[in-house]
A and B are shown apart, each in its own frame.
Chain A
Amino acid sequence: MTTSDLDPAVPRSADPAVDADEARRARNRRIEAVARWALPLVVVILTVWGWHLFSNSTQTRGLIFPEPARVWGRFLADYPMLFGSLMVTLKITFLALGIAIIGGVLLAILFTQSRFAELVFFPYAVVLQVTPIVSIAPLIFIYVQDPLARVLICAWIVAFFPILSNTTLGLKSTDSNLRDLYAIYGATWWQTLLFLQLPSALPYFLGGLRIAGGLALIGAIVAEYVAGISGSGSGLAFRILEASYRLNYPRMFAALIMIAVVGVIIFAATSFLSWVFLRKWHESAIRRET
């Protein structure tokens, strides 16, 4: 069977003739490559500058709205303490996220294997999801004594649902023809799960992970707020509360910005993870030439 007349089986060497369209595309690519970093940077610089002007706009405003330089100074001075708190917050966030991933994926697998299990457990998952964490947290703090466990539970509750619901949806979205094919070839339950359902669910799972990462951080912060100054916590939220009682506004800002940066980093990391896993085959991760 010859195919040379049908398939472009031999890739052609680079064509020297570049048309106007191609040149325009190349120019746009170069502009985008620069703008991608330059634009956000400019925005940040302008924001900090505006902030600086605002803080100094009246004689006393700087006292409660400290200028960037003072926040930075405080950050450097308090760095060892803030860094320790950052580690505490990160530990809780990632532990909660880890448990949410394991629990969410396992429960999703259970749901797709057993309609009965889904009918039994899904309502609880929904109730946990729709009840605001700030209203559940005080109860958890009454019943759970361990300071790490109580915060962890709060963070887990908010991070868990997006993983569960997305993964369940993904596991159920396998191509039915592929499932038939697996059945015809006598695939075992385990093979079907491993080679077919889990890969099909991967894009959905990663979408859930992106949401859950941010939520785990929020859960960890909220739990610490609920624990309050009396709690034995020492995460970033605790530092903010503590600093507010001491009217240490620069430190509040420093801790707040750290939390925001952590959130951004988590989002970037989960997005990167999606890209790594999906870039070869999934539409969402494929960049098109326009």
Chain B
Amino acid sequence: MTDLSNRPILPIAQRPRLLEMTGVSKVFNSTVMALDGMNLTVNEGDFLSLLGPSGCGKSTALRLIAGLMRPTSGRIGWIGAHDRGDIGVVFQEPTLMPWATVARNVWLPFRLRGESFASVRDRVGTALELVGLENFRDAYPRELSGGMKMRVSIARAFVTNPRLILMDEPFAALDEITRQKLNDDLLALKAKIGCTVIFVTHSVFESVFLSDRIVVMAARPGRVVQELTVGAPYPRDMEFRTSPDYAAQTHVVSDALRRAMGDHSNDHL
């Protein structure tokens, strides 16, 4: 595999820190407290999910980490040096340029660094192979299904071999079957490349299946209420999805989420 390094994933306790948020608050329009004093340490190699109800500031946290806006107070710092090639992003929508072919869309991060298409053709090809779209490099986005568009978006995020991938509910708009498939593929991709992923989701099941760390957030004001770890080893597959361990973990996370939403009755969600 060209140019996609294979960073080893250490056990959580031994992972070096990648970035740190300390007391981060974000206020919109001087009234909306989107985040209130959020603390979060992200380690190299984490698959970290931000889980919480709508409006709890998950997207805001992600945008702050991406450097798209500055916190009202508090600080966000990378441990050690980093550059713009260190971050890849996947949004809820595939966010492809409709006028460019699949390959040219994946080329974008390189293009913005001034690298010609010819010089990175192989890397683009490898990324497309990794998401199973090598036969669609010359297709236009409108010719692809929703799931395939999302794969292109993922290939674009991974193509520069970034240390950190930010994903904001990337599979929320997809059907269950496609979503499970993409979950599997995402885990395989992450294991292969050994990057860190911060993954925003509404889904308890998705977060348990994917992550080794889950950060549960609550709204009004947006804040972190609980951090959990999912101990099950990778690779995780269909077997894990149907295991009692998985059921137990989703139960724990559901409870945490319910408490975060201020609902203490224990009989429905």
Q: How far is the CA of A186 from the CA of B67 in the complex (A)?
A: 10
Task: Give Cα A280 to B189, complex, Å.
Answer: 31
Question: What residues of chain B lie closer than 8 Å to A3, measured between beta carbons?
Answer: 132-133
C-alpha gap A286/B143 in the complex (Å)? 11
A-B CB proximity, top 5 nearest: A3-B132, A186-B84, A177-B95, A185-B112, A187-B112
Contact of A286 among B66, B100, B142 (CB under 8 A): B142
> If the complex has contacts A1-B188, A184-B87, A286-B142, are A281 and B112 also in contact, measured as CB distance less than 8 A?
no
A interface residue numbers (CB < 8 A to B): 1-3, 6-7, 9-10, 175, 177-178, 180-187, 191, 195-196, 199, 202, 280-283, 286
Contacting residues, chain A, for B99 (C-beta < 8 A): 199, 202, 280-282
Does the CB pair B132–A6 fall under 8 Å?
yes
Is A175 a contact partner of B87 (Cβ separation < 8 A)?
Answer: no
Complex Cα gap A189–B23 (Å): 32
Question: Given A1-B131, A184-B66, A185-B84 in contact, is the A178-B112 Cβ separation under 8 Å?
Answer: no
Tell me which residues across on chain B come within 8 A of A283, comparing CB atoms: 142
Take A1-B132, A9-B135 as given contacts and tell me if A184 and B84 are in contact as well, using a CB distance cutoff of 8 Å: yes
Chain B 153-197 residues near chain A, CB threshold 8 A: 178, 181, 184-185, 188-189
Cβ-defined contact, B148 with A7, below 8 A: yes
B108 at the interface (CB under 8 A from A): yes
Residues of B at the A interface (CB closer than 8 Å) are 63, 66-68, 84, 87, 89, 91, 93, 95, 97-100, 108-109, 111-113, 130-133, 135-136, 140-142, 145, 147-148, 178, 181, 184-185, 188-189
Residue of B nearest to A283 (CB): B142
Q: Chain B: which residue is nearest A195 at the CB level?
A: B111
A21 and B59 CA atoms in complex are apart in Å by 47
Whole-angstrom distance between the Cβ of A201 and the nearest chain B Cβ: 11
Most B C-beta atoms less than 10 A away, residue of A1, A177, A199:
A1
